[in-house]
Structures are given as C-alpha cells and as structure tokens.
C-alpha cells in the first residue's frame, strides 16, 4: 500500500490528502486480513456475520490511507480504565507515563496516536470509549452525532445502539480530514465553518453546570477551570446552566448499555466464560437483572433528556465539562493477574461526564488542555447540538491555534518519519 501511494505522489495522481497516511484501527472493527477478536483470544460469535472490511475503513483505504495494524482493547470493550487483563496482545500503557493505564476501550487507538505511530486511528465510542482514552493520553477524539457516519452493522460496537465510530487524532485538522473522507451525510454539515477565523472564540457561549463539576476530583477541576478562563480570554462567554435529572439520566444510560451489551455478548459469555475478564462477565449478569418496564422507562428518560437539552442549546452553543472525572489509575500487579481487576469506582469516575452525549446522540469532542501530576494529560470535553460536529472542530482549532494550551510531551514517542528516512 505504501509503495503504491509513493508512486501516485511521484506521478501527481494522489487519491486524496490522506493518500499514504498511516492509520490504525480498533480491534473490534473488521479489516480483511486481520482477525476481529474484540480484545479476546477468540473471534466472538457476535461479529462472525459482519463483512470482511468495515465500510468506514474501506473509504479511508480507497482514499489511500495505509493500515498499519489493529489496536488493542479490553475484552469485549468492557473496561474504560483500559485494563486488558493480560490478553493475547498484552497491556497497552500510557505513552505519557508508562506506569499508568491508557483508558478504554479504544486503548490502543489512543496509544498509537499519542506515541506518534500514526496521526489518525479509527476507534469507537459508546460510553466514552473514544473520548476517555484520548483525554488521558493527550490526543483529540470526536464522538460524532449518532447517524452522521455509516449506520451499517459493520463492527462489534455498531451492534450497540448508541455507539459510533470515533476518530482519535493528533490534531483537530485530522478530525476534519477523517469526517470529509467517511461521512455519509455531508449535506448535514456546513464545512465552510472551518474556513472562518481561528484566532478567537468570540461569539461562543459556553454552558457550565457547576454542581456537576463537583463530581470530578479536585486536580481535574483546577485544570478544567483554568481552561475555561483561557477560553474566556479568547473571547468566549460562560453561562451557568442546569441539566435536569442528571442522576436519572445516568441510571437510564446504565440500564440501556448493560442490557444491550448483555444481549450482544450472551452466546460468547456462555461459550467462552473462562476466557473473559470480570468486566464482560459482570455486565452480562447485570444486563439480565432489569425488566422490560425498566428498559422502557430508560427510553422515556432519553426522550425527556433530549427535550431538555434542546432547550439548553437555545441559550448556549456548547456544554463544557472535563472529559474524564478522575486521573487514569496506576498499573498495579492486582490489575495484571490472569483475569485482571474490575475497578468499578474508577470506571464510574472516568465516565462521569461522557454518558450524556452518548445517551442522547450528541456530538462531543475532547481537547488536550493541561496536565495533572506525573505527566498525566487532562482533556476538555465540549458537547454541541446535533450535527454541529464541525463547529466543535472549529473551536478545537481555535484553541490549538491560540498557543495558550501547550501540548504535553509523552515520555515514550516515536518519530516514524525520521525512522523511515534512515
């Protein structure tokens, strides 16, 4: 693929701006020539009926992108810490400090971008699976409006009703390149917003729900508030908002996600119980505990929440939160046993702010904005109205262009261009 791309560039017949660009792909997305194992030691039954190559990945390949490999993930994606429990590929570590996890479930996607192996990785995001690892590894990720990209059943994640493909990238510009390449509904987007001035955030109204922020750890809140102040200096206006029934939304989201995942994983849990980690087993059991009435009530909550958010977005352009509610945990021997550890407390904290956009189908972006102790990155999450995905990229471009949010340098990184020149 690389040789063919080189020839096209020599002849002036390159296919697109990403012709020859290396990309990685999450291990739950089918790619011909690879096994779609979803982080397990087997090919799950739930993916055996998927196509040979995901439509999204095929579009990138058709534009000349070069697949360098599939990326590691927790077994069946059931762990936002990114503990991969010594599965067949080992444990991905955070490039900023290899003593810490990389988040999940798009663990290897975030690592491959943060470590400099590729500028774009195709991940997934159902409950924060793309945004959390991107935030803790200091890169960008976009959870697109649900339905904006291909809705074909083409990956393990797409079997899950509010999961979407999620690009993780080294820059906001790369997010725009990705959307241009794979978006099915370009007519729903206004690409001209990306040509507007990037020098300020003038005209942007940011909504902040202060009481919700108290659920994050103190260090994260300090970095978040500093980021908000910097955005105000770039011209943004900040407005206090209230999001009603947040706890009810969280519970409804949990009921929906675990019942759906339990249904998807059912046969694989039965047939491969001893090969799975505690996350998949626990979710499978939890998903069988809720009644049809409870699941129906969860859907009613989603409808109420969407109505409330429509009202909030008449007053603000975006809702701002930290991306992850706590620092990513340190890797300890307890996590790295045969079956690993399921850290429910850490998982709940990491997903404190990501469930809202997932449950309602809203677009959300994570932007690296600072550091905690031990060189651990912090992400800022901006949530926009439906189909305002490119506005989020525009704001990220302005933040990057301002130079007031210096990017953290990972402890472990690779210059593949320099390496290739040798």
Phi and psi at residue 293, to the nearest 5°:
-65, -45
What distances in angstroms separate CA 274 from CA 31, 72, 82, 283, 338, one per listed residue?
27, 20, 20, 15, 10
Distance of alpha carbon 9 from alpha carbon 404, whole angstroms: 36
Residue 299 tokens read as 């859907």
Which residues face 22 on adjacent strands?
66
- The segment with the largest mean pLDDT, out of 204-213, 286-295, 402-411, is 204-213
pTM score: 0.95
Distance of alpha carbon 160 from alpha carbon 173, whole angstroms: 28
Stated as kind and residue range, the H or E segment containing 365 is strand 364-372
CA of residue 176 relative to chain centroid, distance: 15
Predicted confidence (pLDDT) per residue in 116-170, tens digit? 999 999 999 988 999 999 999 999 999 999 988 865 556 777 777 888 889 999 9
Stated as kind and residue range, the H or E segment containing 71 is strand 66-71
Q: Give me the residue spans of the domains in the chain.
A: 15-414
Distance of alpha carbon 267 from alpha carbon 49, whole angstroms: 14
Which of 235, 236, 228 lies closest to 367, judged by CA? 228
Predicted confidence (pLDDT) per residue in 271-312, tens digit? 988 888 788 888 888 989 999 999 999 999 999 999 999 999
pLDDT at 199 over 90: no
Distance of alpha carbon 362 from alpha carbon 358, whole angstroms: 7
| SS3 annotation, 124-135 | EECCCCCHHHHH
Angle at 22 between CA 17 and CA 26, to 5 degrees: 120
Q: Where are the beta strands (DSSP E) in 181-249?
A: 205-208, 237-240
Residue 346 tokens read as 């850490």
Residue pair 107/123 in contact (Cβ under 8 Å)? The answer is: no
> What CATH number was assigned to the domain covering residues 15-414?
3.90.1300.10
């Amino acid at each position: 693929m690389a040789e063919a791309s080189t020839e096209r560039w020599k002849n002036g017949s390159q296919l697109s701006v990403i012709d020859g660009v290396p990309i990685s792909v999450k291990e739950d997305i089918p790619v011909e020539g690879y096994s779609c194992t979803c982080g397990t030691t087997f090919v799950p039954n739930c993916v055996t009926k998927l196509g040979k190559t995901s439509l999204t990945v095929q579009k990138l390949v058709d534009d000349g992108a070069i697949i360098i490999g599939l990326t590691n993930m927790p077994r069946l994606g059931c762990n936002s810490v990114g503990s991969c429990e010594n599965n067949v590929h080992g444990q991905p570590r955070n490039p900023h400090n290899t003593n810490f996890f990389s988040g999940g479930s798009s663990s290897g996607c975030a690592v491959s971008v943060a470590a400099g192996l590729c500028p774009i990785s195709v991940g997934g995001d159902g409950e924060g699976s793309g945004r959390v690892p991107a935030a803790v590894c200091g890169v960008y990720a976009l959870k697109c409006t649900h339905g904006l990209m291909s809705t074909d059943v083409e990956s393990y994640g797409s079997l899950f009703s509010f999961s979407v493909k999620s690009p993780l990238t080294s820059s906001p510009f790369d997010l725009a390149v990705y959307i241009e390449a794979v978006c099915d509904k370009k007519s729903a987007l206004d690409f001209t917003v990306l040509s507007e001035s990037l020098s300020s955030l003038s005209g942007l109204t940011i909504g902040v729900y202060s009481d919700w922020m108290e659920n994050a750890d103190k260090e994260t809140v300090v970095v978040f508030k500093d980021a908000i102040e910097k955005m105000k200096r770039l011209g943004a206006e900040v407005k206090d908002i209230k999001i009603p029934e947040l706890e009810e939304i969280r519970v409804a989201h949990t009921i929906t996600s675990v019942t759906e995942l339990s249904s998807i994983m059912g046969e694989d849990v039965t047939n491969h119980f001893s090969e799975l980690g505690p996350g998949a087993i626990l979710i499978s059991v939890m998903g069988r505990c809720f009644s049809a009435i409870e699941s129906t009530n969860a859907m009613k909550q989603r409808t109420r929440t969407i109505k409330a958010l429509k009202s909030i977005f008449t007053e603000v352009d975006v809702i701002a939160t930290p991306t992850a509610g706590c620092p990513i945990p340190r890797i300890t021997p307890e996590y790295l046993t045969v079956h690993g550890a399921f850290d429910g407390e850490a998982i709940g904290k990491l997903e404190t702010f990501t469930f809202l956009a997932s449950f309602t189908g809203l677009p959300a972006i994570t932007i690296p904005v600072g550091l905690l102790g031990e060189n651990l990155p912090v992400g800022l999450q901006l949530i926009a109205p439906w189909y305002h995905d490119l506005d989020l990229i525009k704001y990220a471009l302005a933040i990057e262009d301002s130079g007031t949010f210096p990017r953290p340098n990972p402890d472990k990184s690779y210059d593949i261009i320099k390496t290739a020149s040798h």
